Amino acid sequence: MISRFVVRRIIQGFLVIFCLSIISFAIINVAPGDPATALYGDLADRLTTEERNRINENYGADKPLTERYIKWVKGVARGNLGVSYVEGREVTTILKEKIPNTLKLVSWTISLILVCSLLLGLKAGFNENSFWDKFVSGMSVFFYSIPSFWLALIFIILFSVGNKNISGSGGTFSNLKYYIMPVSVLVIAHAGAYARFIQEKVKEEVNSHYVIAAKANGMDDRKIMKGIVKNALVPFINYLGITIPSFFGGSVVIETVFSWPGLGMLNVKAANSKDYPLLMGAIFMTGILVVISIMITDILQLVVNPSLRKQV
């Protein structure tokens, strides 16, 4: 049953998030540095031991690791991720401000990548040895080799320096023009690999026995194409699910370049300022977002692929 499959996936997702929280909590808490250092930076050395202890006690950083983890988990269950060392605000409030921005960026990017890669990949796959076929094969490796943040710098040089119309970064994000640069950089950097994947799958299907048999029986070309596309989509959705984590990872760099106030930039800022509750919360949220998007692709796969439906 599909519902049972979904429930199992959700349980698995929880397990992933649980493990992620343990790993990142352990990593972060082994790290040197305490709230006092985070708050005062280099000036922390001037604090007396008493002051230092008082600050650390305030943030509960003097307790043993397991106790802190249990406290953290209890807090999470109540929707409380702790207080940021540096900003002094609740981590949840900070996250609430940043998450929508990242979601907007990622969803725009993914939908545009889907459109571009499907168009290019199908065109290339169905016309073997044509110009498009060679174009996609060659260009995908080429674009795959370009670091997206360097492309972003080049875009800033070309369009942003001296030209204020297409801003690289800005304060308000209501305007669509702020999306143009980051989204197009991400799409250019990633669309090639996806197009390549679709192209290879379609080529495999075109040369497979069932297509030849269908053609020999005089089946309508359009119907054959429809079948091929459907069959090629199954591994493609799977591939999308596998690569989604790298999207959230990749957006870290892009957000930093364009000073996009999202989750990725928050991660970097928290790591650089040793603001551990914030870093922990940001990693945790990123993990949840990734798990949710993997789940969506899993369910999509189930919708597209009837043979998978029989298995579950």
- Pick the stretch among 26-34, 126-134, 170-178, 207-215 that binds other proteins (CB under 8 A): 26-34
Query: What is the sign of the dihedral through the CA atoms of 173, 176, 180 and 183?
Result: positive
**Residue from the set 252, 261, 278, 298 that interacts with other proteins by CB under 8 A:** 252
| Nearer residue to other proteins within complex by CB, 141 or 212 | 141
- Pick the stretch among 15-23, 115-123, 197-205, 207-215 that binds other proteins (CB under 8 A): 15-23
- Pick the stretch among 97-105, 147-155, 208-216, 224-232 that binds other proteins (CB under 8 A): 147-155
Here the tokens at position 138 are 């060659």
Q: Which of residues 292-311 bind other proteins (CB under 8 A)?
A: 294
Distance CA 274, CA 44 (A): 13
Does residue 21 interact with other proteins by CB under 8 A? no
Nearest-approach distance from CB 145 to other proteins, in angstroms: 4
Which residues, at least 6 apart from 94, have a Cβ–Cβ distance to it below 8 Å? 84, 87, 266, 278, 281
| Nearer residue to other proteins within complex by CB, 229 or 289 | 289
Distance CA 165, CA 289 (A): 33
Q: Which of residues 148-177 bind other proteins (CB under 8 A)?
A: 149-150, 153-154, 156-157, 161-162
Q: Which long-range contacts (CB under 8 A, 24 or more apart) does 235-242 make?
A: 235/197, 235/201, 236/194, 236/197, 236/198, 236/201, 237/297, 237/300, 237/301, 237/304, 238/297, 238/301, 239/194, 239/197, 240/194, 240/297, 241/293, 241/294, 241/297, 241/298, 241/301
| Nearer residue to other proteins within complex by CB, 253 or 302 | 253
Nearest-approach distance from CB 200 to other proteins, in angstroms: 12
Query: What is the sign of the dihedral through the CA atoms of 105, 111, 116 and 118?
Result: positive
Residues making contact with other proteins (CB under 8 A): 15-16, 19-20, 23-24, 27-28, 30-33, 141-142, 144-147, 149-150, 153-154, 156-157, 161-162, 242, 245-246, 248-250, 252-253, 256-257, 267-268, 271-272, 274, 279, 283, 286-287, 290-291, 294
